[in-house]
A and B are shown apart, each in its own frame.
With several copies, the nearest count.
Chain A
């Protein structure tokens, strides 16, 4: 779960990391009032879960409250990479002498937290990694022991941070690790961490992503979820315990298992790409899906107007194909789809499942033996519908 910039920075502050004075606004008038209250130059920043908002015009400097209100009006409602800006953060502008990159993330290969920092802040880590890999200091953290003081000294020394800033920086390192650790974060990033003209350190921008699997023990963070930029269909699926991700193609996919779901998408693209046909979604109904869940999943798939055919690919392992077949019939009756549905059942009780489907003699049902055949038939069905 991604936190917005303003949420991330508020979290940092709880861990003793200094941040600029500022507040979030949902209207331009509110933005103006906050700017007036802060006084002086402020920055108006779009709060959206996407990178590159600066280039998209979502970040503006304002010299006074009137300018702040004007900028907020322009930014609120702006569409950035498909997301609508619903909130802006009004922060006092920092007097920036130096920008530092600082982040802690999970290193998958090492199975350990990894701290990365650089005196070349401001650009994102991928760009930094491409252009100045030697300027990044990387330090693994023992997941049991945590970040030790001697490691912090090493980091400050290795990155050649001027000594005058060590004390403040070490406090920020220790605060950021505590924040990452206690929040079950996948990523806790300050970029830039600014050295101001007055010699203070300030987290000017921040990004925190919380491990979805740990949300059960992070009630305060879970309560901060902002679903406003989550598509309605994905939210419904999430609430029903189904993983669904909307894509741009025409073939709705319903599959058991994440790897097979991706593969099924890939097959529709493999056979459909030449004809401009591809997957409309990722959907994993999981291992023990009930007929109700199958019905919900089918409604969600069909709520996408692009969908011209649905492909069921079920490889029964623990999942029994006869049960899935009954689920499909229930869903069919509940949803009454008007697009063709290709059904491929394989594995445990596949024969019984196929029998149930064929005996139901429903319109628009096409059966297939293999994944290849199923994908090809779904592509053909879309072509016929055109």
Chain B
């Protein structure tokens, strides 16, 4: 078992005929993900590696039943693509696209809530259930099947930690990149709750960073509601305040959102916080 996706998930790729979308769709299929088709407006009727391409999500969902959609379209079109997926009845949308304006995301999020659609991301590496399926860009080589759930705001840092675990023979139930943008569809708390309820997840690694208060909310949840052990790392202890560290959300503002504050909250909640992400496997043993 796992959370969010598994070998039975039926996936549509929005933007499948694009360079990024096509590249990752192929890697996902190689990994074993059940990609049932793709959507590119104006290219309906074409084929992509044996999978049908549709003009619209509505047509795609009508023809090929699907659970999950992966949004890989450019930032100007991404908000519309997410809403299209939600409107077509998709209940899990994973959006890789970065640089989507926050105003668009707030509207999209309200829309997704109305439709009962869960959004992961944007600006995230996606979700992988090792040995079963991956939806997004997490490289196959960074993880083994196992019982540690991973939830992270960052892409390559997740690979780093997954890889460190793999080198120690530790595998993962599901790896979820929630993204580093200020407004995201799914938070640490949402995913921690899923891991807490997932019988195949025994322990959890949480990778946070400066900016916002999502890690503080996670600490509250860990303190009040989690029985499974949590190891954590917070990136950005050396980041100066008032500067945006690459991720649109990674900024310490008015003294809020610092790494130290988050580390303290997580430690007070009983999580074990690593000073070096390569120590996470030790904290999980």
Interface residues of A (CB under 8 A from B): 106, 108-109, 111-113, 124-126, 142-145, 148-150, 153-154, 156-158, 163, 166, 181, 184, 186, 211-214, 216-217, 243, 245, 247, 255-263, 265-270, 278-279, 282, 284, 315-318, 346-348, 370-372
Does A263 lie within 8 Å of B157, measured CB to CB?
Answer: yes
One of A154, A181, A258 near B247 (C-beta < 8 A):
A258
Taking CB atoms, residues of chain A closer than 8 Å to B75 are 213
Contacts of A109 in B (CB 8 A): 212-214, 217
Compute how far the CA of A261 lies from the CA of B209 in the bound complex, rounded to whole angstroms.
11
Query: Is A318 a contact of B137 with CB atoms below 8 Å?
Result: yes
Given contacts A184-B103, A317-B137, contact A266 B237 (CB under 8 A): yes
Closest-by-CB residue of A relative to B155 is A257
- A106-B182, A247-B240, A372-B276 are contacts. A259–B155 as well, Cβ < 8 Å? yes
Contact B111–A108 (Cβ < 8 Å): no
Other than A216-B76, A260-B155, give 15 A-B pairs with Cβ distance below 8 A.
A106-B102, A109-B212, A109-B217, A142-B110, A150-B87, A163-B42, A184-B101, A186-B102, A257-B155, A259-B235, A261-B245, A262-B250, A263-B233, A263-B277, A370-B164
**Pairwise interchain contact A317-B138, C-beta atoms closer than 8 A:** yes
> Smallest distance from the beta carbon of B158 to chain A beta carbons, Å?
8
B217-268 residues with Cβ-Cβ distance < 8 A to A are 217, 233, 235-240, 243, 245-250, 254-256, 259
* Contact assessment for B107 and A143 in the assembled complex, using a CB-CB cutoff below 8 Å: yes
CB distance from B258 to the nearest CB of A (A): 12
- Closest Cβ of chain B to A22, distance in Å, is 27
Stretch binding the partner chain, chosen from B3-11, B28-36, B54-62, B191-199: B54-62
Q: How many A-B residue pairs have CB under 8 A?
A: 201
Complex Cα spacing A353 to B217, Å: 41
Knowing A109-B212, A150-B87, A262-B209, the reply to whether A270 touches B275 (Cβ < 8 A) is yes
Residue on B nearest A167 in the bound complex, by CB: B42
- Is the Cβ of A279 less than 8 Å from the Cβ of B101? no
Task: Give residues in B with beta carbon < 8 Å to A.
Answer: 23-24, 41-42, 44, 55-59, 75-77, 80-81, 83-84, 87, 99-107, 109-111, 125, 137-139, 141-142, 152-160, 163-164, 180, 182-183, 207, 209-210, 212-214, 217, 233, 235-240, 243, 245-250, 254-256, 259, 275-278
13 CB contacts below 8 A, A to B, read A181-B103, A211-B101, A211-B102, A257-B246, A259-B157, A259-B247, A259-B250, A282-B243, A315-B160, A317-B137, A346-B163, A370-B278, A372-B276
Residues of B within 8 A of A318 (CB): 23-24, 137, 139
Contacts of B182 in A (CB 8 A): 106, 108
B59 & A278 in contact (Cβ 8 Å cutoff): no
What CA separation (Å) do A153 and B245 show in the bound complex? 37
Return the contact of B83 from the options A148, A213, A217, A372 (Cβ within 8 A). A148
List the B side residues contacting A243 at CB < 8 Å.
246
CB-CB under 8 A from B277, the residues of chain A are: 263, 371
Within the assembled complex, what's the spacing in Å between the Cα atoms of A118 and B105?
28
Q: Are A125 and B254 in contact (CB under 8 A)?
A: yes
* Nearest chain B residue, comparing its CB with the CB of A183: B103
Question: Chain A residues with Cβ under 8 A from B238's Cβ?
Answer: 247, 262, 265-266, 268-269, 278-279
Q: Which residues of B contact A157 (CB under 8 A)?
A: 41, 44, 55-56, 59
Contact among A111, A212, A265 with B110 in the assembled complex (CB-CB below 8 Å): A111
CB-based contact B80/A150 at 8 Å: yes
Select A259's contact among B100, B207, B259, beta carbons within 8 Å: B207
Hey, which chain B residues are within 8 Å of A282, CB to CB?
Answer: 239, 243, 245-246
CB pair B249 A108 closer than 8 Å? yes
- Chain A residue with the shortest CB-CB distance to B112: A111
A258 CA to B159 CA, complexed, in Å? 13
**Are A269 and B237 touching (Cβ within 8 A)?**
yes
Task: Report the bound CA distance from A269 to B75 in whole Å.
Answer: 35
Residue of A nearest to B152 (CB): A259
In the complex, what's the smallest C-beta–C-beta distance from A350 to chain B, in angstroms? 9
The complex places the Cα of A181 from the Cα of B235 at a distance, in Å, of: 32
**Which of B56, B152, B183 is within 8 Å of A108, CB to CB?**
B183
Chain A neighbourhood of B42, CB < 8 A: 153, 163, 166
CB distance from B152 to the nearest CB of A (A): 7
Decide if A258 touches B245 in the complex (CB within 8 Å).
yes
Across the interface, name the chain B residue whose C-beta is closest to A268: B238
A149-B80, A150-B81, A257-B155 given as contacts; is B278 within 8 A of A262 (CB)?
no
On chain A, the residues within 8 Å of B259 by CB distance are 266
Q: Is B155 a contact of A214 with CB atoms below 8 Å?
A: no
**Are the C-beta atoms of B255 and A126 separated by less than 8 Å?**
yes
